């Protein structure tokens, strides 16, 4: 289904140049903290009042960075040490992986610093199966002036707040507005897919392929472990055969993408996209389709590497983790967790890009004034791949900048 730039290797062992690329990439690609299972809401009036009563206190986000930022700093130090001793790269990499896992476990059990205590307690008493039919929570909020949004979110004068303000100011030179994305651990997939559909001008070739609909049955017959795939339960009806359920998700993705691409007016397409992302059953079915495409892409990359074919550098990193040394582990420990206990890690942003054959351009605000402020996934994109642009403050939650003043393709 995917056309990789593959070439048969004359030697199955990695060359010195490839080994150096692996080491360099492993050093430079830092592993982000796992995204907690949260629903980010607009700050409540009670929260705003609290900020006025206690102006000396940092905002919730500044508290979060103070606590979570330490883990990131430790990881950056470890990767720096790895760079100093390339001969011990494997040992340091394993150590970093273990320490990262430990830090992530600690982060997962911490209270959510992005919400008020009242919001946290209120959600605890809600049934797990409640889907928001009574509240109708928006998956992608209405657009807001990007500088106003920054002032609202970052009111302090700490170094982190100053960095964010400068980052937002830089982004405002290219975009005038921002749309806040619901933060339920689907946000990276949600933001990317929303942007892709709202900008769709044609149906991608890989979505036109008839083989796409045969993919679930084909993979399930070849890899029995895929039966452990965790589909999001659908309210009001029983789940059918796994292959049929995934096929329905893929068919829906094709149908919606085709429908969006046939709309000539950007305003019409945007309105249709807004409506789609308030239909919870369809929305989450689209995410299941995207996740399955990510799994298929990972399987292809893994098999190509085993056969000695050329694969993107991120593929080495994807399967170098203790928790995803093969596609089965990737599915169980990562893809199955998306939208439940965790979001996308940075290396998985590359996988998402390859699965959709889109370049994902991300403004990483906490990296302002560094070479990583604007990051491309993949960093050597195909020239004919369309581009979607996201914005993040911490590599965990992604929002959507809109009203673009720049080209939409590289």
Catalytic (active-site) positions: 184, 187, 397
Residues 135 and 131: their CA atoms lie apart, in Å, by 9
3-class secondary structure per residue, the chain: CCCCCCCECCCCCCCHHHHHHHHHHHHHCCCCCCCCCCCCCCCCHHHHHHHHHCCCCCCHHHHHHHHHHHHHHHHHHHHHHHHHCHHHHHHHHHHHHHHHHHHHHHHHHCCCCCCCHHHHHHHHCCCCCCCCCCCCCCCECCCEEHHHHHHHHCCCCCHHHHHHHHHHHHHCCCEEEEECECCCCCHHHHHHHHHHHHCCCCCCHHHHCCHHHHHHHHHHHHCHHHHHCCCCCCCCCCCCCHHHHHHHHHHHHHHHHHHHHCCCCHHHHHHHHHHHCCCHHHHHHHHHHHHHHHHHHHHHHHHHHHCCECCCHHHHHHCCCCCCCCHHHHHHHCHHHECCCECCCHHHHHHHHHHHCCEEEEEEHHHCCCCCCEEEECCCCCCCCEEEEEEECCCCCEEEEEEECCCCEC
Closest CA to 318 of 34, 58, 26: 26
Q: Which residues contact 93 (CB under 8 A, 6 or more apart)?
A: 26, 82, 320
Residues 149 and 181: their CA atoms lie apart, in Å, by 13
Write down the residue that tokens 């044609």 correspond to.
202
Residues 140 and 118: their CA atoms lie apart, in Å, by 23
Residues 53 and 63: their CA atoms lie apart, in Å, by 17
């Amino acid at each position: 289904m995917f056309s990789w730039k593959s070439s048969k290797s004359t030697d199955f062992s990695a060359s010195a140049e490839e080994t150096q690329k692996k080491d360099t990439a492993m050093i430079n690609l830092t592993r982000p903290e796992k995204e907690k299972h949260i629903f980010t809401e607009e700050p409540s009036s009670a929260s705003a009042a609290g900020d006025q009563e206690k102006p000396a206190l940092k905002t919730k986000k500044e508290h979060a960075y103070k606590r979570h930022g330490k883990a990131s700093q430790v990881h950056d130090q470890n990767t720096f040490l790895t760079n100093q001793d390339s001969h011990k790269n494997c040992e340091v990499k394993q150590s970093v992986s273990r320490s990262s896992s430990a830090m992530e476990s600690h982060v997962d059990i911490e209270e959510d610093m992005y919400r008020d205590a009242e919001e946290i307690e209120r959600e605890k008493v809600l049934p797990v199966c409640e889907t928001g039919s009574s509240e109708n929570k928006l998956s992608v909020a209405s657009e807001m002036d990007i500088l106003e949004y920054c002032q609202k979110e970052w009111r302090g004068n700490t170094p982190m707040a100053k960095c964010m303000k400068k980052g937002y100011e830089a982004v405002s030179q290219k975009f005038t507005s921002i749309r806040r994305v619901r933060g339920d651990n689907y946000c990276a997939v949600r933001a990317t897919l929303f942007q892709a559909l709202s900008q769709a001008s044609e149906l991608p070739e890989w979505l036109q392929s008839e083989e796409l609909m045969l993919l679930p049955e084909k993979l399930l017959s070849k890899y029995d472990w895929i039966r452990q795939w965790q589909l999001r339960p659908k309210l009001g009806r029983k789940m059918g055969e796994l292959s049929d359920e995934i096929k329905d998700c893929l068919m829906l993705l094709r149908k919606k993408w085709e429908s969006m691409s046939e709309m000539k007016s950007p305003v019409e397409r945007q309105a249709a996209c807004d409506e789609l992302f308030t239909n919870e059953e369809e929305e989450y079915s689209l995410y299941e389709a995207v996740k399955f495409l990510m799994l298929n892409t990972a399987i292809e990359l893994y098999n190509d590497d085993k056969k000695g074919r050329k694969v993107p550098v991120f593929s080495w990193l994807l399967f170098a983790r203790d928790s995803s040394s093969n596609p089965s582990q990737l599915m169980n420990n990562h893809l199955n967790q998306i939208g439940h206990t965790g979001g996308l890690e940075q290396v998985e942003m590359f996988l998402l890009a390859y699965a959709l054959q889109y370049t994902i351009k991300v403004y990483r605000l906490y990296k302002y004034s560094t070479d990583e402020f604007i990051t491309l996934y993949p960093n050597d994109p195909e020239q004919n791949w369309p581009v979607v642009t996201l914005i993040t403050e911490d590599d965990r939650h992604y929002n959507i900048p809109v009203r673009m003043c720049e080209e939409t393709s590289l």
